Structure formats: structure tokens, C-alpha cells
Structure 1
Amino acid sequence: MKYIVILLLFLTFGNIGMAQNSEGTTMYSLFNGKALESWKIPDGGEWTVKNGKIIAKNNPGKKGSILWTKESYNDFVVQLDFKMISGNIDSGIFMRGEDKNNPQIQIGISGSLKRDMTGSPYVPGASYPVEAKNVNKLLRLKGWNTIKARAMNNKYTVWLNGEEVMNYTMDNANLQGPVGLQLHPGREMEIHFKKIVLGRL
């Protein structure tokens, strides 16, 4: 009987991309490995899906764009795997939108600082108010990395490959908005994403 119950639970929840993280938060998949059903796809062809991965690659004109979720969120935690493929990677995760009241969690080289700022929050008009720690030891330049970012009220926390690397409290933060993945304009680059999950807090 016990095994029947376990099987029923698996059949009920296993196909809708639902699981729990280490904090007990129910996590829902934002990418099923086949299509971008949870996202608003920009025009231009920079975002494609292949072999279970989201591929973000600049077109010949080096045009950039942002892949936004269709839904908006208040407090949440988002986690994904990323791999830097080629070029001068400048990407990131937008937390609740794109303006001066929402930080972007950097992935790769900062265009303004010209060095890797992965895990650090970028704020328009304020640059990087804090810098993530131990990233040079944790970041895999040629392999897959797991990054987790949490937005709780106006407090933001980031983990890279299982280790907490950044805490930041932002005054006047917007407390609701979509999540976005960035492909920065003005450079040739390719970055891949997979295993994207989000949990409301």
C-alpha cells in the first residue's frame, strides 16, 4: 500500500515540474526543456531551445534582448543552471523588472567594470552597490553552474554552486514584477540555460 501511495504522488506531481528545495519551498518549473511556454519571446531570434537547453546567442548585428516571464512575482526564489559558451559573456537575472528600483543579478563580465561580477547586483544609476564573494573560486568557466537568487521584501540573496555569495538590501525596491534573463547588446556571446525553477515565498 505504501508503494502505491508513493506512485500516485509521483504521477500527480512529477509531470508538472513541482518539487521542494532545501528550504521547503515548493518550486515550479519555468522551462520544460522543449518550449518557452512560460516566457515572452523577443523578436529577433536570439532565444532558441535545443537539446533541453535555452540558447541565448546574439545575431550578427549584436542585438541584445531580455527573455521575460509571462507572470509577475512578489517574494520568490529562482534557481537555474547556466553555461558560458563563447564570447564576452554579459548576462544576468532581472529581479522584478528592469528599472532603477530592481536589481539585476549579474552573470559574467560587467560592461562598465570590465571584470567578472557574477552573483553581484547591478542597479541602474548605482552600478554595483555590493560585490559577491568567493566567485573566483566557485565559478566554473567551462562547465555548468547553478545560481539561486531570492527576493524577500527588499532583501536579495544569491547562492552560486551551493554557497551563499551575496546579501543586499535595497531602499525603495519594487516589490512585484517579472523575472528576466538577459542577453546584453553590443557584443558577440552565447550562453545556455536549463533547469529553471521558481518558488513563491
Structure 2
Amino acid sequence: MKTKLFIACAAFSGALLAACTPAPKNNVLTEAEKAEGWKLLFDGKTLDGWRDYNGDSLTAPWIVEDGCIRAKGSGSDASGYIVTDTVYENFELVWDWKIAEGGNSGMLYHVVENPKFKVPYVTGPEYQLIDDFGFPEPLEDWQKTAADYAMHVPDTSKTIIKPAGEWNTSKIVFDNGHVEHWLNGEKVVEFEAWTDDWFEKKNSGKWKDAPEYGLAHKGVICLQDHGSAAWFRNIKIKELPRKTKEVDLFNGVDLKGWEIYGTEKWYVDNGLLVCESGPDKQYGYLATREYYDDFDLTVDFKQLANGNSGVFFRSFIEPGAIINGWQVEVAPKGMDTGGIYESYGRGWLVQIPDEKENILKPGDWNTLRILVKGDNVKTWLNGEQMVDLSDPKIGKAQGRIALQIHDGGGIKVQWKNLKLKTL
């Protein structure tokens, strides 16, 4: 009797304690979280810090309701997205969410804002949020909750989803290309971005015609109104440090790690990378398949014929081999090798003074160095500094490195020793 009475009293005391313990407050950080570097992305009262995608104010169908960010459900595939004011690179991102019956939404990251990109998902990966049980159409595994949408499917043996109208907790970890998706305390997706396997998935599925999908190393965070109500709270983020690495961009054997745009010729000959005008005599580009934002790059080049070429940085490619970004000029003597040209908008940003034109060695090997950090670009040709430019527009951009063939025909340039260190 004494044992049973003790157990009963203990159970009653535990229940009473649980009933008297205040529920955790929403949209606040503990002192421990603050000390660890966590920050709130939603204060529980306003939408301060959020705005329309590609906009400077908030007009999209989102409101604050009962301490939650709510999607009204009037968005569509083409509209209804809101993004953070702040750009994030490496992070842990945690949030609570619930969705309307039959609903569909998402949390996107590394979203690039540019008028050329009409919707966020052509650049930013998406943690899928959807009503797996009540969605009106059959779902593929890559469409289900916690999937890396259209790329990596969740581990269904670990997937615990609460139904529409109930709160779930999700987490994304992005740590220098290592990615994890968590759902209600379980890790259900894990992969490495920008590996051969990752690029194979990207180029063979839904994103094969979205050349810049998933390449950005940083970007805004985005919430999606996909035509159904969704609620978000306790959105918090902790930034993680960037890691540096050294990269040989050219292996001397083939064009692995590069992508060809246009119809001009790019090939390897006797351990050298060669660009040569083709029969169409148009612009052509050989672009890294990865983005490189802050870096120190050295490359050797030899102009065998009309060497009108260049090295683009923080650039992206549109269909039709149209490049957007900045070029460090490589051209015949008297044509500003080492200068900076913007491919759209402003044209020449820095041209080379006449007294520096003799630094170029026509028909011989030259060494070009490009240092890009934040909004500053420095260039050197054969050890002599050519440019020191700070520009806010460059500072906001990110993208690929790309070698160029100018239009007009008759161009042939050799390249070697393309060595890069990220910063």
C-alpha cells in the first residue's frame, strides 16, 4: 500500500508541476540562445525586416496574426514571396510552422534578388512545407514535407509530421556546402552541395533549364505563399563561419568543373586550356559551374591571335549565352588588359592608362591576378597593379568566374595555371 500510495502521490505531484509550469514564450530568445549568437527573424508583432522579393517594401499578402506570420493564401507561383532584408551565408535556421488543410508553402534560402530572376526558386533551394496527408493531388517524394524540393527526398523512416493545423518544428543547417534538413527533432535530409552528385541531380531534373539554381553561397531567406494559408513563428537564425579553400580551376586534362555557353570552341590541348572562335563568330563563355564571390585568382594566358578575351567574375548566365557581371579585360596591346568592364549598364568602369599598356607581352605568357573582396577589386598584370576599384554594385553581387571569347572571329588564346583561393 505504501508503494502504491507513493507512486500515486508522485504522479499527482508531477502532473501538478506540469500544470503550474508556464508555457514557453514564443518569438523570444533565452539568455543562453543570445549568448550562442541566435537572432530572431520575427519579433511576434511586426513584419519589420521583411519585404517583397525584388522589392523595397512589403505589399505581398502576409500579415501578423496572434503572434504568427501568416500567409493569407492569395499568392501564386509567380507572386506572394517575402524575403529578409539581410543576406545570410552559413547558418542554422529554426522555425515553427503549420499549414492549412491541402496547403503548400516553403522556406527558401540563398535566394538571389535581381530583376533578371522573376521568382525566388530559380536561384534559392527550398525546404518544402506541404500537407502530405490532405494535398489534393498525389505527391512525388521530392515534393513532400522537408524535402530539398526537386533535389533530395526525406528519409521517410524518420519523418514525423503533424497534420494540417498543428505546429511542426523545422531546421535547416547550411555549413559551407554541408546541408541538413530536420523535422520535429529528426534529421531527415543530409547532402553536400556542389558535388558531382549534386550537379547531376540539378542538371537532369526540374532545374536543368535554371542555370543559376542553387549556386549562390549566400542570399536572402524567403517565405512562400503558394495559394494557401500558412503560419510561422519562432523564426531564429545563428550564423556559422565561412571556411576558405584553395582550388585548381583547371586540371590540365579536361573541362571538368566548367560549363560551355555559346557555340565557340573550348578545348584542352597538350595540358593547356584553349579558347578559339568558331564558325558563328559570336560571344562565347566557359563558366565555372560553381560560384566564387571573395577570392584571389591567378591565371596565365598567351594570345596566339587577336586575343580579345577576358575573365568575368561575380557573373551569371542567361539563356542565349548572355552574361551579366564584370570582366577583367584580356585584349591586344592598347585595349586595356587588366581594366574592368561591366557587361550590362555602365560599360567601362576602369580603363588602363597608356603608360601601362607596355606591361602586356603579346605572343608570350602573361600572368593576371584578380583579388575580389567585398566591394573591392584589384588586378595585377605581370606583377604590376592595374586596378584598385571599390564599387557598391559589385559588392552586392555574386556569381561565377567565366572566360570569354569576344565576337568577330579570329580569336585564339591559351590559358594555364588557374589557381584560386577563397577568402
TM-score by length of 1: 0.78
Q: Distance in 1 between matches of 2:349 and 2:262?
A: 32
- The 8 Å contact of residues 146 and 161 in structure 1, kept in 2 or not, is answered as yes
Q: Distance in 1 between matches of 2:292 and 2:311?
A: 14
After TM superposition, give the deviation of residue 135 of structure 1 in Å.
3.2
Q: Does 1:147 align with 2:365?
A: no
SS at match of 2:357: helix
Could you say which residue in structure 2 is the equivalent of 1:158? 379
Highest RCO, 1 vs 2 (Cα 8 Å, sep ≥ 6)? 1
Cα-to-partner distance string for 1:100-152 (whole Å, 9 max, x where unaligned): 97321101059xxxx41100000132222222355323110010000010111
Could you say which residue in structure 2 is the equivalent of 1:22? none
- The 8 Å contact of residues 58 and 189 in structure 1, kept in 2 or not, is answered as yes
Please list, as runs of the form range in 1=range in 2, the aligned pairs for 1:111-190 lying within 5 A after superposition. 115-123=334-342, 124-133=344-353, 134-173=355-394, 174-190=396-412
TM-score by length of 2: 0.38
Q: Distance in 1 between matches of 2:246 and 2:337?
A: 23
Distance 1:47 1:159, change over 3 A: same
Does 148-157 or 90-99 show the bigger shift? Answer: 90-99
Could you say which residue in structure 2 is the equivalent of 1:15? none
SS at match of 1:128: strand
Q: What is the RMSD computed on CA atoms of the aligned residues?
A: 2.2
Q: Aligned partner of 2:392: which letter?
A: D
- When the two structures are aligned, how many residues end up with a matched partner? 172
Q: Does 1:63 align with 2:63?
A: no
Could you say which residue in structure 2 is the equivalent of 1:81? 300
Q: Distance in 2 between matches of 1:185 and 1:47?
A: 14
Please point out which of 84, 90, 102 is paired with 2:308: 90
Distance 1:101 1:36, change over 3 A: closer
Cα-to-partner distance string for 1:58-108 (whole Å, 9 max, x where unaligned): 112213211000110221111100000013x22111111058973211010
Unaligned segments of structure 2, at least 5 residues: 1-243, 318-322
- The 8 Å contact of residues 296 and 370 in structure 2, kept in 1 or not, is answered as yes
Q: Distance in 2 between matches of 1:72 and 1:26?
A: 13
Q: Distance in 2 between matches of 1:182 and 1:157?
A: 19
- The 8 Å contact of residues 153 and 175 in structure 1, kept in 2 or not, is answered as no
Q: What is the percentage of aligned positions where both structures have the same residue?
A: 30
Q: Distance in 1 between matches of 2:376 and 2:262?
A: 33
Please list, as runs of the form range in 1=range in 2, the aligned pairs for 1:27-38 lying within 5 A after superposition. 27-38=246-257
- The 8 Å contact of residues 118 and 135 in structure 1, kept in 2 or not, is answered as no
After TM superposition, give the deviation of residue 37 of structure 1 in Å.
0.8
SS at match of 1:176: coil
Could you say which residue in structure 1 is the equivalent of 2:326? 103
Q: Distance in 1 between matches of 2:246 and 2:356?
A: 25
Q: Aligned partner of 1:106: which letter?
A: E
